[in-house]
Amino acid sequence: MAGNSEPLSPRAKLAVTAGRAAAAASRAVGRGSGSVIGGKVSLKLDPDLLGRLAAHLDVVLVSATNGKTTTTRLIAEALRAGGPVVSNALGANMPAGITSALAGGSDARFGVIEVDEKYLAGVAKDVTPKAIALLNLSRDQLDRAAETRMLAEKWREGLAGNKAMVIANCDDPLIAWAASSSPNVIWVAAGQAWKDDAWSCPSCGGVLQRPADDWFCGECGFRRPMPSWALSGDHVVDPHGSAWPIHLRLPGRANKANAATSAAVAAHFGVPPQVALERMYEVRAVAGRYDVVTFHERELRLLLAKNPAGWLETFSLIDRPPAPVVLSVNARGADGTDTSWLWDVDYTQLAGHPIFVLGDRKLDLAVRLEVAALDFRVCDNLDEAVRAAPPGRIEVIANYTAFQDLRRRVGN
Amino acid sequence: MSDNSLRLVWIYPDLLSTYGDQGNALVVERRARQRGLDVARVDVRSDQPVPTSGDIYLIGGGEDRPQRLAAERLRRDGGLNRAVSNGAIVFSVCAGYQILGHEFINDLGEKEPGLGLLDVVSTRGEAARCVGDVLADIDAPLRLPPLTGFENHQGVTHLGPTARPLARVRFGNGNGTGDGTEGAYNDTVFGTYMHGPVLARNPLIADLLLKLALDVNALPPADDRWYEALREERIAAATQPA
Ligand SMILES: [Zn+2]
B14, amino acid identity:
D
Query: What's the pLDDT score for residue A5?
Result: 44
Query: What's the pLDDT score for residue A77?
Result: 97
Q: Which of A36, A287, A64 is nearest to A166 (CA)?
A: A64
Give the Cα separation of B210 and B37 in Å (integer). 10
Q: Annotate B49-104 with DSSP letters as a single string.
A: PPPS--SEEEE----HHHHHHHHHHHHHH-HHHHHHHTT-EEEEETHHHHHHSSEE
Cβ distance A123 to A94 under 8 Å? no
Query: What's the pLDDT score for residue A143?
Result: 58
Report the chain A residue with the minimal C-alpha distance to residue B202: A367
Q: How many CB atoms neighbour CB B184 within 10 A? A: 28
Is A217 labelled a binding residue? yes
Of A122-126, A172-176, B46-50, the poorest mean pLDDT is in A122-126
Q: Which of B174, B236, B165, B195 is nearest to B27 (CA)?
A: B195
pLDDT score of A209 more than 70 = yes
- Structure confidence at residue B240 as a pLDDT band (50, 70, 90): confident
Cβ distance B192 to B205 under 8 Å? no
Hey, is the C-beta of B20 within 8 angstroms of any chain A C-beta?
Answer: yes
Q: pLDDT tens-digit profile of A242-266?
A: 999 999 999 999 999 999 999 999 9
Kindly state the percentage of chain B with pLDDT values over 70: 98
Is A379 labelled a binding residue? no
**CA-based Rg of chain B, rounded to a whole angstrom?**
17
Mean pLDDT, chain B, as a whole number? Answer: 95
- Smallest Cα distance from A116 to chain B, Å: 21
Strands, E, within B115-160: which ranges?
Answer: 120-124, 130-138, 147-153, 155-159
Report the residue of A209, A363, A367 to disrupt the B interface, i.e. the one with the largest count of B CBs within 10 Å.
A367
Residue A213 annotated to the active site: no
Kindly state the percentage of chain B with pLDDT values over 90: 89
The answer to whether the CB atoms of B69 and A200 lie below 8 A apart is yes
- Structure confidence at residue A2 as a pLDDT band (50, 70, 90): very low
Q: How many angstroms is it from B3 CA to the middle of ligand 1? A: 38
- Structure confidence at residue A89 as a pLDDT band (50, 70, 90): confident
Q: pLDDT tens-digit profile of A21-35?
A: 666 655 555 455 556
- Structure confidence at residue B171 as a pLDDT band (50, 70, 90): very high
Query: What's the pLDDT score for residue A6?
Result: 53
Mean pLDDT of B24-30: 98
- Smallest Cα distance from A303 to chain B, Å: 22
Model confidence, pTM: 0.91
Query: What's the pLDDT score for residue A344?
Result: 94
Mean pLDDT, chain A, as a whole number? Answer: 90
Cβ distance A85 to A112 under 8 Å? yes
pLDDT score of A65 more than 50 = yes
A311, amino acid identity:
W
The answer to whether the CB atoms of B19 and A142 lie below 8 A apart is yes
The answer to whether the CB atoms of B131 and A372 lie below 8 A apart is no
> What's the complex ipTM?
0.96
- Structure confidence at residue A91 as a pLDDT band (50, 70, 90): confident
pLDDT score of B2 more than 60 = no
pLDDT score of A398 more than 80 = yes
pLDDT score of A3 more than 50 = no
